[in-house]
Amino acid sequence: MSTATVRDLATLQIDVWTDFACPACYLAKPRLDAAIAGTGRSGQIAVRYRAWELFPEATELPFDSFEYVIRKFGGDEARASRLEQRMGDLAQAQGQPYLVHHPIANSLDAHRALKLAAEYGRDAVFIDRLQRDLFGSGTDVFDTRYLVAVAADLGIPAERTDAALAGNGYADEVRADQARARGLGLTGIPFTVLAGKQAIVGVASADGFRRAIEAALTGEGNDR
């Protein structure tokens, strides 16, 4: 069954605005997955990952995340370290590796590749793979060669990823996601929208996500 068909049949549509470079999104993904599984109605729920670029001005040349944080703190390295440690603790508490030093670069190509992955029903695993490699191994997941290789690993023909990234493939879709988010009043990511009506801004607990999803499933439903 195609992903589109699953979405058509779903009782509840969940839209998640996310970015690969977003540590909060990294934390949220397994919690949302667990929440959906916890409802016992995952077959009635469709998740669509939508693009948000946290660093749209960034180039393809990676910069160090920790250096970025220090700059934002006016050079206060101790404070930056303390705060990064807290994020690492949150990640490790749920079994996710987290490197303080990981690269950040422009994520447009990664989002474009994600759109292609969604056509193959591989978007969720694509996100998991990229974020694990980014936050867990410090891999430059924004690199075109990396994106093509990972997509191929996940069953997406390399020639399709190559062609999309060499041209402007899916760029309009990425921009449309971001325009839609602004229209909806996005104030933070991850930005999880249930049935096009209710939003959760940030990383809820798995139980918090689950309760909200269950309420949406038994409530007004999907207004797509």
Choices 1-9, 15-23, 37-45, 109-117; region in contact with other proteins by CB under 8 A: 15-23
120 sits near other proteins (criterion: CB under 8 A): no
CA distances, 76 to each of 55, 100, 103, 164 (Å) = 22, 15, 20, 41
Choices 20-28, 113-121, 123-131, 141-149; region in contact with other proteins by CB under 8 A: 20-28
Question: How many residues at the interface with other proteins, by CB under 8 A?
Answer: 61
217 sits near other proteins (criterion: CB under 8 A): no
Q: Which of 10, 204 has the CB closer to other proteins? A: 204
Distance between CA 173 and CA 22 in Å, rounded?
20
Distance between CA 5 and CA 3 in Å, rounded?
5
Phi, psi of 121 (to 5 degrees): 70, 25
- Name the residue with tokens 């920790």: 66
172 sits near other proteins (criterion: CB under 8 A): no
Vertex 32 angle, CA 30 and 36, to 5°: 115
Residue ranges binding other proteins (CB under 8 A): 13, 15, 19, 21-25, 27, 52, 54-55, 57, 65-66, 68-69, 72-74, 80, 82-87, 90, 100, 102, 104, 135, 180-191, 193, 196-205, 208-209, 211-212, 223-224
